[in-house]
């Protein structure tokens, strides 16, 4: 029994048990889909890295010693003037006070509660920097401004150098596995309250807590805003294509039933609903839609030609079984290449799509024919006018086949010459550039402070009380002085600053004493004194260990790209190696260090993934065509769209990010589908002893239309993805859309011309 | 109708009077508890402070102290603290004159600087020497620093205890509320501290009570567990002696100044 007969028997069995098939598949799908409730809320940037990622481990180690690194920041900027106005200081003072109520907060620091020391001989008084705002005169305000500018721990930490922007930093001690929703919701409520009370002053929410929360809020808002619209578009599109309400309903059911259980499986597997996962349903939808269109359009055509409903769908299954299987398979394999990367969120998205592709295939050959046979369907299917144009196109290509190949080759060569300009990099500062609230705050913070992120360095002495050693503090100072000269660094704060300040204050407040004293005992006594005169939440516990064997540097970091960060980190390590002895450190750690490294390593992994997916797919296509010649020809339409796609990218940017690679891995399996359909039909035509030009006509007639339709579906799916608030999704959507359209053009223009020149003649 | 209003008024007034009674009752227990610890005239002791991090690493600090009881009901005691370890702070001395609801006076002698510094800070709710104890906790039993409320009774470690809720009067306090257990011998046994956002911050356990001078119960161990950062601190009093006849002049700034000469 040959393969076609087996498929036919299979189809007949399905139709004989159609009610059982429908019910059992619905029950099974409901069961699997119920896993959706286990989809985990994204844990922000922490969910974006693998637990054993070196740069994340560095952060965890740091947190074990000094507490959680996450900060929630209020950004305060008056519409006019700087922060030294009564209203602004009053707002900062009140909001600082209110900030103690933030869930999970452990400390709050702002210019208002900054501990300011006044010295009068041997009398030292320590108080909040801002007190009795109501009684401040203009003169007081300008005095405060001058004083604030001189305080190292104010400038660049709670106030910008220009004095135009004030910050309130709230350290959060988050319990494990809890997202930032509570503190963020609290902060946004405060923002509303204070902006209403002080309409002339802008209050924004920033910091790593907001950054982390963006992952969750973006995923949620994307899902609720994008999906309904996209579903509607698909319903309209299906109806326009099939002109049959019942057929559209079947297509819709197959689509939804492919998406739900794949998300359910994601839930059962414990995946997180990170923003990249948002793309999964859209990709699954387009694949299943393409399957359904292929199946239904042929079945409806058959019915038009007089076949019975059951015979029509059996015939359609016979024709479509192999291409549907192959396209599902290549899509799954292509996207599975993402598992070579280092970002779990992308692997999880890929695996969800792969599962969806499998469901799409299974349902298209079981549920779809069963439903088609069960439901009352009348065919109003008309051959599209498009066929007429396609026929003319085929003639045109036949006439000018050499010119087509030469022109497209020239374009390719030109574009190819642009590609060396491209370079791999990433810029984590841009992730949420499509979230207006985030950008609004970013545009204020970044020019004034570099970014709202901090980097840290844990400097160890290996002996208890070692940090009171003047040699150690001088070394910190040396390190700090070197760091502030680096482009990635905006400012640095260390415990040596605390000592210098104390030394000054204990010596009548004279500037000349703003230095590290050369006496270990004295420094130890300064710390002792400092330690019993500080208010709640302002102690040095987040800066030094209890046994005073190590201290933590706080580095305010500018946004920089992955390349810049990796280079910066290398230089830091080099400096440490050459200069830090006898003290030790593991180097700098923090979000601005981790994210760029994550993407650098991810890029390397993805390149391997690309190699895997490309070679695997080309092999599969070659094998399925059972011909080296066609295997080689097939490489052209599968590679050229990517070259041209990246050529178009150079018009916008030369930076190739991980997102662009992800786009390639997503689209490779989709691009190849059309080639498979076209080449298999061409082979069939040749075996039917058709002349080359007739063979091309045959291909255009039978697969031209479905290829165009499938491409339009995919294209619109990816255009929808560009509406995502997650910048990476926007890039992926845009890139995939471009590649899909180019692939369509190549399949319709270049591939036929190539076949005419290099294909076997009948 | 008239009867209904009357009934309501009676109901509300009894409710109010109960509330008042609970506050009074709480205040009275707190006051008696505080007073039962008075009458020591003066006191000397050595103290061990053990800091324990979440991993179990320990750091020990040694202090010795002298205190002078102040019989003025409107003012606080005077204490001198001598810091002994780590070695670098040996010889550092702190004199403080505590006050009830105003800033304490504090003088510090730093031997490496050979000077006495007067330090006034309006805000001492922070960690004491990196421990889980705040400066304000040392006067945790002073009834005059809190508003009180009697909540009920509870058995703790086999002893019947009064449950008292207290709210700091001190404006810059790090706490919003405390819930404490005081036993029938009027000894504080355990206090839960709630932070500024109303969440449980830490629990202080008073242990190892000894009867001094046949009349005063004093806890010779105080264990603090921070529930948020998972650190702990143990305070231990050793060689505690009451009524030793200390010279009052020792507790004046001038005696500290003599160290600097």
Q: Where are the domains of chain B?
A: 34-260
Q: A425, A561 in Cβ contact below 8 A? A: yes
User: A284 vs A289, A361, A612, A714, CA distance in Å?
Assistant: 8, 11, 22, 10
- How far is B163 from chain A, CA to nearest CA, in Å? 26
Q: Does A481 touch chain B (CB under 8 A)?
A: no
Query: What does residue B121 show for φ and ψ, rounded to 5 degrees?
Result: -135, 130
Q: A596, A343 in Cβ contact below 8 A? A: no
Query: Rounded to whole angstroms, how far apart are CA atoms A554 and A537?
Result: 17
Query: Rounded to whole angstroms, how far apart are CA atoms A411 and B22?
Result: 89
Q: Does B260 touch chain A (CB under 8 A)?
A: no
Alpha helices in chain B (DSSP H): 2-36, 253-260
- How far is B199 from chain A, CA to nearest CA, in Å? 9
**Taking Cα atoms as reference points, which of A210, A156, A168, A171 lies closest to residue A450?**
A156
Is the Cβ pair B122, A525 closer than 8 Å?
A: no
Is the Cβ pair B57, A534 closer than 8 Å?
A: no
A62: Cβ contacts below 8 Å, ≥ 6 apart: A69, A456, A458, A552, A589
HEC letters along A626-677? CCHHHHHHHHHHHHHHHHHHHHHHHHHCCEECHHHHHHHHHHHHHHHHHHHH
Q: Per-10-residue mean pLDDT for chain A, 762 residues long? A: 79 84 88 84 81 90 88 94 92 93 90 87 85 88 90 89 94 82 93 93 93 88 84 83 83 90 90 86 86 84 84 87 86 88 88 92 91 82 68 80 86 88 87 91 90 90 89 92 90 90 86 90 88 74 86 89 90 91 89 89 87 86 82 87 91 89 89 84 83 82 79 86 90 94 90 82 56
Query: Rounded to whole angstroms, how far apart are CA atoms A266 and A281?
Result: 11
Is the Cβ pair A536, B94 closer than 8 Å?
A: no
HEC letters along A452-514? CCEEEEEEECCCCCHHHCHHHHHHHHHHHHHHHCCCCEEEEECHHHHHHHHHHHCCCCCHHHC
Query: Rounded to whole angstroms, how far apart are CA atoms A477 and A579?
Result: 12
Query: What does residue B107 show for φ and ψ, rounded to 5 degrees?
Result: -120, 145
- Chain A residues closer than 8 Å to B114 by CB: none
B173-230 pLDDT, tens per residue? Answer: 888 999 999 988 889 999 999 988 888 999 999 999 998 888 889 999 999 999 988 8
What does the longest C-alpha to C-alpha distance in chain B come to?
Answer: 83
Q: How does strand A123-128 pair with strand B115-121?
A: parallel
Q: Does A119 touch chain B (CB under 8 A)?
A: no
Helix, strand, coil percent values for chain B (each to nearest 5): 20, 45, 30
Angle, vertex CA B169, rays to CA B165 and CA B175, nearest 5: 60
Q: Which of residues 63-92 of B touch A (CB under 8 A)?
A: 83, 86, 88-89, 92
Say whether B167 sits in a helix, a strand or coil: strand
Nearest-by-CA chain A residue for B55: A64
Is the Cβ pair A547, B57 closer than 8 Å?
A: yes
B137's tokens: 């906790």
Query: Rounded to whole angstroms, how far apart are CA atoms A9 and A314?
Result: 9
A84's tokens: 């030294």
Is the Cβ pair A126, B134 closer than 8 Å?
A: no
Interface test with B, best of A507, A532, A544 (most B CBs within 10 A): A532
Q: Does B254 touch chain A (CB under 8 A)?
A: no
HEC letters along A417-452? HHHHHCEECCCHHHCCCCCHHHHHHHHHHHHHHCCC
Per-position DSSP letters for A80-108, written without gaps between them: SS-S-SHHHHHHHHHHHHHHTTSTTEEEE
Is the Cβ pair B92, A100 closer than 8 Å?
A: no
A712: Cβ contacts below 8 Å, ≥ 6 apart: A237
Give the sign of the dihedral formed by CA A563, CA A565, CA A567, CA A569.
negative
A171: Cβ contacts below 8 Å, ≥ 6 apart: A67, A68, A70, A71, A105, A106, A107, A108, A542
- How far is A437 from chain B, CA to nearest CA, in Å? 27
Q: B48, B60 in Cβ contact below 8 A? A: yes
Nearest-by-CA chain B residue for A186: B197
HEC letters along A306-370? CCCHHHHHHHHHHHHHHHHHHHHHHHHHHHHHHHHCCCHHHHHHHHHHHHHHHHHHHHHHCHHHH
User: A359 vs A16, A268, A317, A365, CA distance in Å?
Assistant: 22, 16, 16, 10
DSSP B159: E
Query: Rounded to whole angstroms, how far apart are CA atoms A326 and A680?
Result: 11
Nearest-by-CA chain B residue for A521: B88
What is the pLDDT at residue B15? Answer: 53
What is the pLDDT at residue B213? Answer: 85
Is the Cβ pair A106, B115 closer than 8 Å?
A: no
Nearest-by-CA chain A residue for B58: A547
Nearest-by-CA chain A residue for B107: A123
Q: Does A510 touch chain B (CB under 8 A)?
A: no
Residues forming beta bridges with residue B182, ordered by sequence position: B162, B188
- Chain A residues closer than 8 Å to B168 by CB: none
User: A567 vs A486, A487, A596, A597, A718, CA distance in Å?
Assistant: 11, 11, 11, 11, 35
User: A543 vs A59, A376, A458, A554, B131, CA distance in Å?
Assistant: 15, 74, 9, 8, 14
Q: A392, A748 in Cβ contact below 8 A? A: no
Query: Rounded to whole angstroms, how far apart are CA atoms B221 and B58?
Result: 17
Query: Rounded to whole angstroms, how far apart are CA atoms A628 and A619?
Result: 10
Would the pLDDT of B169 be above 90? no
> What is the four-CA torsion angle of A665, A668, A670, A676, rounded to 10 degrees?
-150
A566 alpha-carbon distance from chain centroid = 20
DSSP A278: G
- How far is B60 from chain A, CA to nearest CA, in Å? 9
Query: Rounded to whole angstroms, how far apart are CA atoms A332 and A532?
Result: 63
Residue whose tokens read 């799954």: A332
The pLDDT mean for chain B works out to 85
Query: Rounded to whole angstroms, how far apart are CA atoms A222 and A228?
Result: 10
A662's tokens: 């992800």
Q: Does B125 touch chain A (CB under 8 A)?
A: yes
Q: Model pTM?
A: 0.86
DSSP B71: -
A617's tokens: 């797919």
Query: Rounded to whole angstroms, how far apart are CA atoms A433 and A442?
Result: 9
Query: Rounded to whole angstroms, how far apart are CA atoms A330 and A674?
Result: 11
Say whether A234 sits in a helix, a strand or coil: helix
CATH of B34-260, one of 1.10.150.120, 2.50.20.10, 3.40.50.1820, 2.40.160.20: 2.50.20.10
Query: Rounded to whole angstroms, how far apart are CA atoms A619 and B123?
Result: 73
What is the pLDDT at residue A553? Answer: 92
Say whether A150 sits in a helix, a strand or coil: helix
Q: Does A64 touch chain B (CB under 8 A)?
A: yes
Query: What does residue A660 show for φ and ψ, rounded to 5 degrees?
Result: -65, -40
User: A631 vs A390, A634, A683, B5, CA distance in Å?
Assistant: 25, 5, 12, 96
Q: Is B46 exposed, middle or buried (0-12, 13-18, 19+ CB in 10 A)?
A: middle
A89 alpha-carbon distance from chain centroid = 38
Count Cβ–Cβ pairs < 8 Å, chain A vs chain B: 133
Q: B131, B236 in Cβ contact below 8 A? A: no
A386: Cβ contacts below 8 Å, ≥ 6 apart: A704, A705, A708
Give the up-direction half-sphere exposure of residue A473: CA atoms within 13 A in the CB hemisphere: 25
Give the sign of the dihedral formed by CA B16, CA B22, CA B23, CA B25.
positive
A17's tokens: 């048990």
Q: A719, A740 in Cβ contact below 8 A? A: no
- How far is B160 from chain A, CA to nearest CA, in Å? 33
Q: Does B171 touch chain A (CB under 8 A)?
A: no
Task: Report ipTM for this prediction.
Answer: 0.85
Is the Cβ pair A521, B108 closer than 8 Å?
A: no
Give the sign of the dihedral formed by CA A156, CA A162, CA A165, CA A168.
positive
Q: Does A541 touch chain B (CB under 8 A)?
A: yes
What is the pLDDT at residue A1? Answer: 59
């Amino acid at each position: 029994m040959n393969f076609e007969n087996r498929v036919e028997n299979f189809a007949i069995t399905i139709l004989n048990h159609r009610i059982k098939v429908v019910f059992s598949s619905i029950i099974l799908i409901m069961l699997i889909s119920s896993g959706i409730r286990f989809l985990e809320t994204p844990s922000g940037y922490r969910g974006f890295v693998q637990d054993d990622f070196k740069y994340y481990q560095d952060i965890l180690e740091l947190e074990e010693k000094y507490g959680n690194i996450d900060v929630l920041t209020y950004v305060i900027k008056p519409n006019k003037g700087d922060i030294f106005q009564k209203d602004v200081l009053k707002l900062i003072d009140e909001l600082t006070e209110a900030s103690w109520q933030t869930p999970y907060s452990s400390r709050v620091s702002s210019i208002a509660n900054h501990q300011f020391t006044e010295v009068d001989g041997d009398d030292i008084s320590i108080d909040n920097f801002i007190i009795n705002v109501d009684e401040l005169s203009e003169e007081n305000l300008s005095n405060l401004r001058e004083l604030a500018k001189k305080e190292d721990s104010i400038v660049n930490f709670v106030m910008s150098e220009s004095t135009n922007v004030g910050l309130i930093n709230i350290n959060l001690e988050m319990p494990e596995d809890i997202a930032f929703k509570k503190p963020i919701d609290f902060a946004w409520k405060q923002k509303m309250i204070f902006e209403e009370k002080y309409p002339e002053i802008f209050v924004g929410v920033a910091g790593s807590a907001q950054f982390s929360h963006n992952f969750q809020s973006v995923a949620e808002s994307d899902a609720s805003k994008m999906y309904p619209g996209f579903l509607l578009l698909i319903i309209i599109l299906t109806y326009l294509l099939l002109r049959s309400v019942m057929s559209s309903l079947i297509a819709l059911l197959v689509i939804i039933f492919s998406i739900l259980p794949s998300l359910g499986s994601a839930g059962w597997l414990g995946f997180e609903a990170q923003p990249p996962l948002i793309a999964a349903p859209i990709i699954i939808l387009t694949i299943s839609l393409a399957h359904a269109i292929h199946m239904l359009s042929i079945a409806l055509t058959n019915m038009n030609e007089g076949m019975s409903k059951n015979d029509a769908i059996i015939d359609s299954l016979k024709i479509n079984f192999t291409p549907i299987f192959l396209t599902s398979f290549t899509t799954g394999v292509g996207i599975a290449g993402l598992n070579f990367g280092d970002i779990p969120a992308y692997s999880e998205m890929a695996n969800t799509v792969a599962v969806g592709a499998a469901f799409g295939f299974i349902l298209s050959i079981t549920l779809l024919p069963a439903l088609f046979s069960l439901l009352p369907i009348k065919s109003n299917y008309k051959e599209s006018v498009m066929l007429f144009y396609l026929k003319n196109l085929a003639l045109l290509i036949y006439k000018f086949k050499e010119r087509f190949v030469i022109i497209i080759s020239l374009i390719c060569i030109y574009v190819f010459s642009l590609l060396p300009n491209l370079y791999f990099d990433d810029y984590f500062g841009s992730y949420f550039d499509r979230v207006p609230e985030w950008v609004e705050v970013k545009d204020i913070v970044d020019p004034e402070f570099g970014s709202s992120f901090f980097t840290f360095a844990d400097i160890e002495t290996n002996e208890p009380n070692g940090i009171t050693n003047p040699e150690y503090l001088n070394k910190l100072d040396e390190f700090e002085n070197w760091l502030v000269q680096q482009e990635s660094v905006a400012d640095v704060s260390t415990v040596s600053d605390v000592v210098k300040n104390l030394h000054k204050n204990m010596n009548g407040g004279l500037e000349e004493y703003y230095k590290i004293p050369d006496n270990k005992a004295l420094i130890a006594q300064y710390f002792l004194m400092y330690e019993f005169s500080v208010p709640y939440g302002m102690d040095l516990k987040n800066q030094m260990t209890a046994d005073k064997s190590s201290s933590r540097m706080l580095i305010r970091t500018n946004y920089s790209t992955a390349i810049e960060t990796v280079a910066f980190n290398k230089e830091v390590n080099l400096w440490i190696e050459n200069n830090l002895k006898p003290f030790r450190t593991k180097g700098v750690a923090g979000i601005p260090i981790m994210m760029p490294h994550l993407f650098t390593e991810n890029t390397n992994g993805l390149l391997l993934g690309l190699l895997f997916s490309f070679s695997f797919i080309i092999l599969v296509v070659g094998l399925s065509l059972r011909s080296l010649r066609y295997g080689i020809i097939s490489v052209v339409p599968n590679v050229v769209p990517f070259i041209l796609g990246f050529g178009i990218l150079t018009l916008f940017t030369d930076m190739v990010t991980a997102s662009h690679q992800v786009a390639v891995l997503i689209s490779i399996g989709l691009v190849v589908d059309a080639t498979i359909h076209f080449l298999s039909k061409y082979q069939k035509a040749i075996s039917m002893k058709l002349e080359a030009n007739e063979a091309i006509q045959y291909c255009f007639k039978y697969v031209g239309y479905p290829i165009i339709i499938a491409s339009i579906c995919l294209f619109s799916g990816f255009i929808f993805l560009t509406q995502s608030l997650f910048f990476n999704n926007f890039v992926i959507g845009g890139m995939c859309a471009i590649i899909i359209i180019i692939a369509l053009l190549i399949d319709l223009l270049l591939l036929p011309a190539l076949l005419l020149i290099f294909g076997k003649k009948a | 109708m008239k009867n209904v209003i009357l009934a309501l008024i009676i109901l509300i007034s009894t409710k109010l009077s109960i509330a008042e009674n609970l506050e009074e009752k709480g205040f009275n227990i707190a006051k008696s508890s505080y007073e039962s610890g008075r009458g020591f005239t003066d006191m000397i002791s050595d103290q061990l402070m053990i800091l324990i991090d979440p991993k179990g690493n320990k750091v020990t600090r040694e202090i010795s102290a002298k205190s002078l009881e102040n019989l003025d009901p409107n003012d606080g005691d005077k204490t001198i603290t001598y810091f002994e370890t780590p070695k670098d702070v040996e010889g550092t001395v702190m004199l403080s004159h505590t006050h009830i609801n105003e800033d304490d006076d504090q003088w510090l002698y730093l031997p490496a600087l050979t000077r006495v510094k007067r330090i006034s800070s309006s805000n001492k709710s922070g960690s004491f020497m990196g421990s889980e104890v705040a400066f304000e906790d040392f006067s945790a039993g002073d009834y005059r620093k809190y508003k009180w409320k009697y909540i009920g009774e509870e058995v703790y470690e086999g002893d019947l205890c009064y449950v008292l809720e207290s709210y700091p009067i001190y404006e810059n306090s790090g706490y919003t509320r405390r819930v404490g257990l005081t036993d029938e011998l009027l000894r504080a046994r355990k206090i839960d501290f709630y932070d500024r956002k109303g969440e449980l911050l830490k629990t202080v356990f008073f242990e190892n009570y000894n009867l001094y001078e046949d009349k005063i119960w004093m806890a010779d161990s105080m264990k603090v567990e921070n529930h948020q950062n998972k650190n702990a601190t143990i305070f231990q009093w050793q060689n505690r002696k009451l009524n030793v006849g200390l010279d009052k002049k020792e507790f004046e700034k001038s005696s500290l100044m003599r160290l600097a000469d």
